[in-house]
Structure 1
Amino acid sequence: MPISPSIPDRKVALAFMAHPDDAEISCGGTLIRLQQSGWEVHIVSVTAGDCGSMNMGPDETARIRFQEGTDAAHLIGATFHTLSEPDGRLVYDREALQKSIDLFRRIAPTLVITMPMSDYHADHEISGQLGRAASFVYAAPNASREPVLDGSRVPYLYYTDGHDGQDRMGNLITPTSYVDISDQLETKARMLACHQSQSEWLRSHNGINEYLTAMQAHSQARGTDIGTHAAEAFVQHRGHGHPGDDLLAALFPSQHSSRSPDSAMHASHS
């Protein structure tokens, strides 16, 4: 029998991403729904995004991308942060982890969405590792010199979809949770459009000619999984210490939520 979800009294959501546009691509619609439901929303880019240009230097690129991330967050009343780690050279070490824990301590999220630990980009994977580690330990009094805020706890933790719904080896991901974002897709596209500097970068480096179209197409493919116009997919972290009930399903129930993951994946990629 499914566990009955317990909605936290402290409604603070944190999207802990690798690069300034990752939240908009992978979970922007869900963040919009959370904000519309009365949640405080924070978006974090672990890196400064300083490698995301073919013709600007790292400092200028980082400055522009911070402003783009801030503009996108402001569209939905969210707050943008960066840990300013080096783009493309992110490592899991004590310094990066402590910076992550300190930021978690200041925000005290009860719902965390981070990146998959198997994905095409190593920065994504390491951000997922940092997000998982900080989620588990941030509320421990001795983990940081930052004060412990009331309501600090081990949060609900979800990993975003992989690029094209695949892991680093090209294997299909089986989501545990979907959020219908049909009504939020247009605003999600407006958020992503704030990242104007990435259009040429993604075309030249990643071979993506129209990143807005690519995002919309994948959102619509995930919507097909559950019989809606558009959706976002997640894998919930249900390991020891983390809440095991599906908070996203409780917050945003769908009449199609009982559809099996196997049939959903077949529909999306057939």
Structure 2
Amino acid sequence: MPKDLTPPRILAIHAHPDDIEILCAGTLAILKDKGCEIVIATMTAGDKGSAEMGQEEIARVRRAEARKAAEMLGAECMCLEFKDLSIEFNDDSRKRVTEAVRRARPDIVLTAPPVDYMNDHEMTSKLVRDACFAASVPNYPTEQWDPAPITKNIPHLYYVDPIEGVDWFGEPTPYDFIVDVTETFKLKIDMLACHESQRAWLRQQHGMDEYLESCKRWAKKRGEQINAEYGEGFRQHKGHPYPHDNLLLETLSR
């Protein structure tokens, strides 16, 4: 039987606006060029991401920045409206994320890694993992308004790098493969530049003097590992009963 060459649907879901741009937008741009439909989702609207604006004001600003970045890619944009520093691993949260997966109907999901520098990222990873499993379970209602139907199967699940590719102790984290994003790197940086509100915040809270340059440095480091100018790293979730064939890498190679 010939393989189905229909481009897979992609859901890229991470904790905050700009996480996707920093960690996998170059790969998403390649997938878009391959004909994939893409949904970019954030768990929060980034309501704590400012020292000058209040929560509602900065959330409005960051939602607009996220939409602008997604439009540059030709992707759908979704926010699950959790609050920064308050993403909890419980059934209400799992239902909300499961509903998002059912609405996006992805064949491939890219999300936060299990170990990262902050709880929002790690809780996102756990909730998305569970939601990928739960989305096809008929007896798991999400109890959301106008719920989407269940999905046909469990999607292929991949984790992006943690910030700067290190765990809690500054040790390098493993990866399965690195994608050469040299050709799409300008679009990646242009998308990240849409998140202008974060420049001052990241300088103050994260000690990143220039968030665009920090992103370039990390992408260049990953690229050097495969003799490319820029790269993005991924690790596939292969626990039972998630798919084990590498649909992401296969799609990128078409």
Q: Which amino acid aligns with 1:156?
A: H
Distance in 2 separating the partners of 1:95 and 1:66: 23
Number of residue-to-residue matches in the alignment: 248
**1:7 Cα deviation (Å)?**
5.9
1:73 aligns with 2:73: no
Q: Which amino acid aligns with 1:29?
A: G
Once the two structures are superposed, the pairs formed by residues 78-97 of structure 1 within 5 Å of their partners are 78-97=75-94
Distance in 2 separating the partners of 1:10 and 1:226: 26
2:209 matched to which residue of 1? 209
Residues 12 and 110 in structure 1, CA contact (< 8 A), matched pair in contact too: yes
1:99 matched to which residue of 2? 96
Once the two structures are superposed, the pairs formed by residues 240-259 of structure 1 within 5 Å of their partners are 240-253=240-253
1:139 matched to which residue of 2? 136
Distance in 1 separating the partners of 2:252 and 2:31: 9
- Out of 53, 56, 64, which is 2:53 matched to? 56
> 2:85 is paired with a residue of what secondary structure?
coil
Distance in 2 separating the partners of 1:212 and 1:42: 23
**1:11 Cα deviation (Å)?**
1.8
Distance in 2 separating the partners of 1:141 and 1:245: 25
2:181 matched to which residue of 1? 181
Q: Which amino acid aligns with 1:13?
A: I
Distance in 2 separating the partners of 1:236 and 1:25: 19
- Out of 21, 27, 30, which is 1:30 matched to? 27
**1:8 Cα deviation (Å)?**
7.2
Distance in 2 separating the partners of 1:232 and 1:7: 26
Distance in 2 separating the partners of 1:246 and 1:148: 26
Distance in 1 separating the partners of 2:159 and 2:246: 13
TM-superposition CA deviations, 1:65-116 (whole Å, max 9, x none): 0000000000010011111111012111111111101111111111000101
Distance in 2 separating the partners of 1:246 and 1:140: 23
Distance in 1 separating the partners of 2:83 and 2:184: 32
Distance in 1 separating the partners of 2:41 and 2:152: 18
Residues 108 and 248 in structure 2, CA contact (< 8 A), matched pair in contact too: no
**1:144 Cα deviation (Å)?**
2.8
Give the percent of matched residue pairs that are identical in Structure 1 and Structure 2: 37
1:118 matched to which residue of 2? 115
1:238 matched to which residue of 2? 238
**1:173 Cα deviation (Å)?**
1.0
> 1:50 is paired with a residue of what secondary structure?
coil
Residues 7 and 247 in structure 1, CA contact (< 8 A), matched pair in contact too: no
TM-superposition CA deviations, 1:14-39 (whole Å, max 9, x none): 01100011000000011111111111
**1:248 Cα deviation (Å)?**
2.4
1:15 aligns with 2:15: no
Q: Which amino acid aligns with 1:148?
A: P
2:36 matched to which residue of 1? 39
**1:247 Cα deviation (Å)?**
1.9
Q: TM-score, normalised by structure 1?
A: 0.88
Residues 138 and 144 in structure 1, CA contact (< 8 A), matched pair in contact too: no
Distance in 2 separating the partners of 1:186 and 1:90: 32
For the aligned residue pairs, the C-alpha RMSD in angstroms reads 1.6
2:149 matched to which residue of 1? 148
Residues 177 and 248 in structure 1, CA contact (< 8 A), matched pair in contact too: no
- Which sections of structure 1, spanning at least 5 residues, go unmatched? 1-5, 255-270
Residues 165 and 173 in structure 1, CA contact (< 8 A), matched pair in contact too: yes
> 1:120 is paired with a residue of what secondary structure?
coil
- Which sections of structure 2, spanning at least 5 residues, go unmatched? none
**1:253 Cα deviation (Å)?**
3.8
> 1:143 is paired with a residue of what secondary structure?
coil
* Residues 1:206 and 1:161: Cα distance change in structure 2 (over 3 Å): same
1:166 aligns with 2:166: yes
Q: TM-score, normalised by structure 2?
A: 0.93
**1:137 Cα deviation (Å)?**
1.3
Distance in 2 separating the partners of 1:115 and 1:60: 26
